[in-house]
Amino acid sequence: MRGEATTTYTDTFPKLLLMNAAQRGHRPAMREKDLGIWQAWTWEQVLDEVRAFALGLKELGLARDDKVAIVGNNRPRLYWSMCAAQSVGAVPVPVYQDSVADEMAYVLAHAGVKIAVVENQEQVDKLLSISERLPELAYIIYDEARGLRDYDHTRLKSFADVQKIGRALDPRSSALWWQDSISKGKGADLCVILYTSGTTGRPKGVMLTYDNVIRSSRNANAYDKLDENEEVIAYLPMAWVGDHIFSYAQSYCSGYCVNCPETPETIIEDRREIGTTYAFAPPRIYENLLTLTMVRMEDASAIKRKVFHYFMRVARRWGEKILNKERVPLYARFLYWLGNIVVYAPLKNRYGFSRVRVAYTAGEAIGPEIFRYYRALGINLKQLYGQTEASVYVTAQPDGEIFADSVGKPNYEVEVKIDDKGEVLYRSPGVFTGYYKDPDKTAETKTPDGWVRSGDAGFFDPKSGHLKIIDRAKDVGRLKDGTLFAPKYIENKLKFYPNIREAVALGDKRDFVSVMLNIDPVAVGSWAERNNVTFGSYQELAAHPKVYDMLAAHVDEVNRSLSEEGPMAGAQIRRFLILHKELDADDGELTRTMKVRRGFIVERYGPLAAGLYDGSKEVDASTEVTFEDGRKGAISGRVKIRDMRVYPSATAQAPVGKAA
Amino acid sequence: MRAPSGAGIAAGDVLLAVEGVSLAFGGVKAITGVSFDIRKGEIRAIIGPNGAGKTSMLNVINGFYHPQAGRITFKGTTRKAMRPHAAAAGGIARTFQNVALFKSMTTLDNIMAARALKMHKSFFWQIFRYGPALREEVEHRKTVEEIIDFLEIEHIRRIPVGKLPYGLQKRVELGRALAMEPDLLLLDEPMAGMNLEEKEDMSRFVIDVNNQYGTTIALIEHDMGVVMDLSDRVVVLDHGCKIADGTPNEVKKDQAVIDAYLGIAH
């Protein structure tokens, strides 16, 4: 076990801020694109902004151990609020900004939030609408003043006004007080509470200390050799542990610059302008980029399409080998060099990945095709496995040891073991102290000697020594005849087709496997346009017989590939249907990080699930939908069900249940 | 954006008044003896059934049409008819029922085009885009970027407007009108052809413009819900005549209005 556990280090973020301002005061710490121009703040300037806001917070009555909610898109002032809160001993609680009012009320009340720092009018309105459920909430502070001029300002303050309060204090004594307050903080203190979106039940507040977060971040910086020269773009939800570590903790630890996009819609362009060197995204983002590229290429002229496909074949054949520094024949190098000029470099530039040194994907399995695509282009895309409870890092792929289906080796100072039921357990300095106000759940997840149950089933590949994750431990089930059924494994195979956006597999304690599919409106919509298929709505497109035919072909391919995988061969898909509605986080069908909530979906689409197993060809379904403002409507329609062919197992003699 | 000057007219005073305006195209009478006023800082709706003369009225106000009779008083100056350039220079901006943008130009360029009126550096400097002309352009660009930020259209800044969906084109058009920093903003059916969500967005922008910059707004709109929610006062036209004038509530109860909308024999 390597790492730097023995060296002493600066143990809180406010102290790190002071250190960065002293050591690299004139280097940029943060940028935001505003009015079309990148505005930058140096570490010294950030220090000044944070101090003014922190003193303002103190004047508003914020005390040690109070909780401060942070709600909004990635904005510099919201990141500063976290450090400002920490500098006066308070604990930031970032909240998913697209939560509906009810979800937000639960989290804010559970955390006992005293001050909320929010982005704009939308969030202010949301908080005001639930204010009677939040008796402890004393102030709402907003970043963007638009539309808020006529609001009652007794409990409402603008960020700038709070800073004004802080700056109006006697500079000498207030600075001394602030220094003193910072030096009172220590590594074992609570640093942040991150609510996990939770695939089931209410969100849980994961408590992380400064030691947890800072040790993990320092180790990660060392693992990938990150320094103050990195550029990252902050665009993932601030409430997600990934963004917290990546856009806040790792930046404070190594001094690199974090860039906030102009709006959520301009990320690709903004990333291109910045040229990020270190990137972090769930597979969905990479999938979307690839789908968009393929859709555009379909519309391109024949010559361009030919050139693109020719060089993509070259890249697939040689790109990864070149990236892994293997021996490659000279003509291949020449072709790849040519391809780089014509196709790869312009593409990478489009994606904003021209300067990228390390790009991670995490959170879900990534399609092998997608994974290889980016690596073939010469982008060092790697997988990591992490959890909020571990301050992200559990395992990651070291440079040069890349496999599409593994999540890599344990990070520095992390121990990983697999229990007899196949569940992955880990222990590290980054492991959380507990769930906020929930000792029972904590005891369920964390053993007294510090091991955390990940809830994921996995195994170590004997050849490479890499960890592989197959599914959530509790989701791995068996069919009635005892065949192993790993729903996510099947779903992922399906989702790797660009036409399929989501898949939900059923099979546990049932006779056979069947799936509910969601089409990808962009990919299928573009296909429809090219094939003269007319449609008026998502529902109509999803129910189109030609779309069914196309997806049936995909399911058939998945069945064939399953038939070749020994223990999985029994879990081939016998029947499928296409849902008449897009699965949506607002309806509780997906988590805020866009993972399907299988149990809930089966319950919600009860008649459809029943139809899959009673042999019907068509089922009527009516589904309630919730709009963002809380109003409800209904979508109803008739959904068809298709039967599928099953392939004989390629390794029929292999004993069932040998799978990890 | 600067607050509009308004030439000494305080909020609530009459900014524009039309008195006894009549307009005819040959034998067709579009407007017959209509009088009403628009007060500074209010949102004034002009409603009426199809062919009531609403758009003609806007065209009279900003000088596209010259009425045969009547007077128009704008910022205390009374004239028989407005002239388009005088209207524009005097602080009247408008959007059109059918979007009238430069389709092949980007959002940014479309909105910048509206600043041409406010650029004063000589042609010579502008050709070279150097020195004072460049400084001036930067200044105007800042104003334009503030409008882009205000209307939340950053992501389409560099896209030719012809490629944009209709709802966004309408927003760009509003942006171009705002770039003139008008005292009086005329909106001709700003929400026509939009879905509910786009209408809500547009309504919010109209209210924010009025709120934040104190811009006086006169708008034509068919969606009664929108009119009732947005406007301070409503004038109702039917067959070129004014049939009602007052707050949304008063107008809603007015028998002549109900008849005009439900349709009775004339």
Residues of A in contact with B211 (CB under 8 A): 147, 149-150
Banded pLDDT at A650 (limits 50, 70, 90): low
B122 to each of A256, B134, B137, B141, how far by Cα in Å? Answer: 46, 11, 12, 18
pLDDT at A4 over 50: no
Of A149, A150, A266, the CB nearest to B154: A266
If we measure between CA atoms, which residue out of A265, A291, A236, A266 comes closest to residue A74?
A236
Q: Chain B 89-128, CB below 8 Å of chain A: which residues?
A: none
- Percent of chain A past pLDDT 90, that is, above it, reads 58
The first and second tokens of residue A392, run together, are 């992200």
pLDDT tens-digit series, residues A170-200: 999 999 999 999 999 999 999 999 998 765 5
DSSP secondary structure string, A11-59? -SHHHHHHHHHHHSTTSEEEEEEETTEEEEEEHHHHHHHHHHHHHHHHH
A197 contacts A379 by C-beta, under 8 angstroms: no
Of B141, B155, B211, the CB nearest to A263: B155
Residues contacting A533, CB < 8 A, separation 6+: A527, A541, A544, A546, A547
Give the CATH architecture of domain A282-472: 3-Layer(aba) Sandwich (3.40)
The first and second tokens of residue B220, run together, are 């034509």
Banded pLDDT at A567 (limits 50, 70, 90): low
| Residue of A33, A35, A119 to mutate when probing chain B, most B C-beta within 10 A | A35
Of A35, A262, A265, the CB nearest to B142: A35
The H or E element that residue A162 is part of is helix A159-168
Q: What is the pLDDT of residue A354?
A: 92
Q: What is the pLDDT of residue A132?
A: 92
pLDDT tens-digit series, residues A229-261: 999 999 999 999 999 999 999 999 999 999 999
Q: Determine, for residues A149 and B150 on separate chains, whether the beta-carbon distance falls below 8 Å.
A: no
Q: Chain B 133-152, CB below 8 Å of chain A: which residues?
A: 141-142, 145-146, 148-150, 152
Q: What is the pLDDT of residue B10?
A: 77
The first and second tokens of residue A157, run together, are 């303050």
pLDDT tens-digit series, residues B233-264: 999 999 899 999 999 989 888 888 888 876 66
What stretch(es) of chain A map to CATH 3.30.300.30?
476-643
Residues contacting B228, CB < 8 A, separation 6+: B248, B252
Q: Determine, for residues A262 and B154 on separate chains, whether the beta-carbon distance falls below 8 Å.
A: yes
Banded pLDDT at A147 (limits 50, 70, 90): confident
The first and second tokens of residue A164, run together, are 């004004």
The H or E element that residue A96 is part of is none
Of B149, B152, B208, the CB nearest to A35: B149
Task: Mean pLDDT check: name the lowest of A61-70, A399-408, B185-194.
Answer: A399-408
Q: Determine, for residues B154 and A36 on separate chains, whether the beta-carbon distance falls below 8 Å.
A: yes
Burial label, A173 (beta-carbon count in 10 A; 0-12, 13-18, 19+):
exposed
A111 three-class SS = helix
Of A35, A150, A266, the CB nearest to B155: A266
Residues contacting B49, CB < 8 A, separation 6+: B238, B260, B261, B263
B257 to each of A121, A634, B49, how far by Cα in Å? Answer: 37, 36, 10
A654 three-class SS = coil
Q: What is the pLDDT of residue A657?
A: 36
pLDDT at B187 over 70: yes
The yes/no answer on whether domain B1-91+182-266 falls in CATH 3.30.1330.60 is: no
Residues of B in contact with A75 (CB under 8 A): none
Beta strands in A82-122, from DSSP E residues, in sequence order: 91-95, 113-118
Looking at every residue in chain A, the average pLDDT score rounds to: 89
A596 contacts A602 by C-beta, under 8 angstroms: no
Q: Give the CATH number of domain A476-643; options: 3.30.470.20, 3.40.50.1360, 1.20.120.400, 3.30.300.30.
A: 3.30.300.30
Task: Mean pLDDT check: name the lowest of A243-252, A459-468, B183-192.
Answer: A459-468
A448 three-class SS = coil
Burial label, A51 (beta-carbon count in 10 A; 0-12, 13-18, 19+):
buried
Location of structure tokens 């939560």? A99
Residues contacting A413, CB < 8 A, separation 6+: A1, A3, A5, A215, A219, A428, A429, A430
pLDDT at A111 over 90: yes
Q: What is the pLDDT of residue A476?
A: 81
Residues of B in contact with A150 (CB under 8 A): 211
Of A35, A263, A266, the CB nearest to B145: A35
pLDDT tens-digit series, residues A392-418: 999 999 988 888 778 999 999 999 998
Q: Determine, for residues A35 and B157 on separate chains, whether the beta-carbon distance falls below 8 Å.
A: no
**Rounded Cα–Cα distance for residues A583 and A501 (Å):** 9
A436 contacts A207 by C-beta, under 8 angstroms: yes
If we measure between CA atoms, which residue out of A515, A509, A462 comes closest to residue A643?
A515
If we measure between CA atoms, which residue out of B114, B91, B70, B94 comes closest to residue B15?
B91
Between A13-23 and A43-59, two packed helices, what is the crossing angle to 10 degrees?
140
Question: Cα A397 from chain centroid?
Answer: 18
Residues contacting B177, CB < 8 A, separation 6+: B93, B94, B95, B114, B185, B187
pLDDT at A159 over 50: yes
The first and second tokens of residue A293, run together, are 């590229």
DSSP secondary structure string, A551-579? HHHHHHHHHHHHHTSGGGGGG-EEEEEE-
**Rounded Cα–Cα distance for residues A52 and A161 (Å):** 10
Residue A425, CA atoms < 13 Å, CB-side half-sphere: 15
Residues of B in contact with A35 (CB under 8 A): 142, 145-146, 148-149
Mean pLDDT of B201-221: 91
Location of structure tokens 């971040």? A217
Mean pLDDT of A462-484: 81
Banded pLDDT at B174 (limits 50, 70, 90): very high
Q: Determine, for residues B211 and A36 on separate chains, whether the beta-carbon distance falls below 8 Å.
A: no
Question: Cα A131 from chain centroid?
Answer: 29
DSSP-derived secondary structure letter, A590: B
What stretch(es) of chain B map to CATH 3.40.50.300?
1-91+182-266
Residues of B in contact with A36 (CB under 8 A): 141, 145, 148, 154, 157
Higher pLDDT, B106 or A607: B106
Q: What is the pLDDT of residue A3?
A: 44
Banded pLDDT at A362 (limits 50, 70, 90): confident
Higher pLDDT, A185 or A365: A185
Q: Chain B 166-225, CB below 8 Å of chain A: which residues?
A: 204, 208, 211-212
Please name the residue of chain A whose CA is at the shortest distance from the CA of residue B144: A35
Please name the residue of chain B whose CA is at the shortest distance from the CA of residue A34: B149
**Rounded Cα–Cα distance for residues B50 and A233 (Å):** 52
- CA-only gyration radius of chain B, Å: 19
Residues contacting B253, CB < 8 A, separation 6+: none
A215 contacts A11 by C-beta, under 8 angstroms: no
**What is the amino acid identity at position A24?**
R
pLDDT tens-digit series, residues A430-440: 999 999 999 99
Please name the residue of chain B whose CA is at the shortest distance from the CA of residue A37: B145
Give the phi and the psi of residue A303 in degrees, each rounded to 5: -65, -50
pLDDT tens-digit series, residues A332-343: 999 999 999 999
Q: Determine, for residues A146 and B212 on separate chains, whether the beta-carbon distance falls below 8 Å.
A: yes
Q: Is the predicted ipTM greater than 0.90, yes or no? A: no
The first and second tokens of residue A588, run together, are 């509780």
Q: What is the pLDDT of residue A597?
A: 85
DSSP secondary structure string, chain B? -PPP-GGGPPTTSEEEEEEEEEEEETTEEEEEEEEEEEETT-EEEEE-STTSSHHHHHHHHTTSS--SEEEEEETTEEESS--HHHHHHHTEEEE-SS----TTSBHHHHHHHGGGGG--S-HHHHHHT-THHHHHHHHHHHHHHHHHHHTT-GGGTTSBGGGS-HHHHHHHHHHHHHTT--SEEEEESTTTT--HHHHHHHHHHHHHHHHHH--EEEEE-S-HHHHHHH-SEEEEEETTEEEEEE-HHHHHH-HHHHHHHH----
Look at the pTM and tell me if it is higher than 0.95.
Answer: no
- Percent of chain B past pLDDT 70, that is, above it, reads 93
**Rounded Cα–Cα distance for residues B136 and B4 (Å):** 20
Of B145, B148, B208, the CB nearest to A146: B208
Q: What is the pLDDT of residue A489?
A: 80
pLDDT at A482 over 80: no
CA distance to partner chain B, nearest, from residue A165 (Å): 24
pLDDT at A104 over 80: yes
CA distance to partner chain A, nearest, from residue B157 (Å): 9
A501 contacts A495 by C-beta, under 8 angstroms: yes
What stretch(es) of chain A map to CATH 3.40.50.12780?
13-276, 282-472
Banded pLDDT at A660 (limits 50, 70, 90): very low
Banded pLDDT at A268 (limits 50, 70, 90): confident
Q: Determine, for residues A146 and B150 on separate chains, whether the beta-carbon distance falls below 8 Å.
A: yes
The first and second tokens of residue B27, run together, are 């034998």
The yes/no answer on whether domain A13-276 falls in CATH 3.30.160.20 is: no
Please name the residue of chain A whose CA is at the shortest distance from the CA of residue B145: A35
A627 contacts A586 by C-beta, under 8 angstroms: yes
pLDDT tens-digit series, residues A568-622: 678 899 999 998 888 888 788 888 777 888 888 888 888 888 888 988 888 888 7
A537 contacts A636 by C-beta, under 8 angstroms: no
The first and second tokens of residue A73, run together, are 């898109």
Q: What is the pLDDT of residue A326?
A: 84
Residues contacting A434, CB < 8 A, separation 6+: A207, A442, A446
Location of structure tokens 């222990």? A427
Burial label, A459 (beta-carbon count in 10 A; 0-12, 13-18, 19+):
middle
**Rounded Cα–Cα distance for residues A7 and A222 (Å):** 13
Residues of A in contact with B155 (CB under 8 A): 262-263, 265-266, 269
A71 contacts A25 by C-beta, under 8 angstroms: no
Q: What is the pLDDT of residue B8?
A: 65
A253 contacts A333 by C-beta, under 8 angstroms: no
B171 contacts B110 by C-beta, under 8 angstroms: no
Q: Determine, for residues B154 and A146 on separate chains, whether the beta-carbon distance falls below 8 Å.
A: no
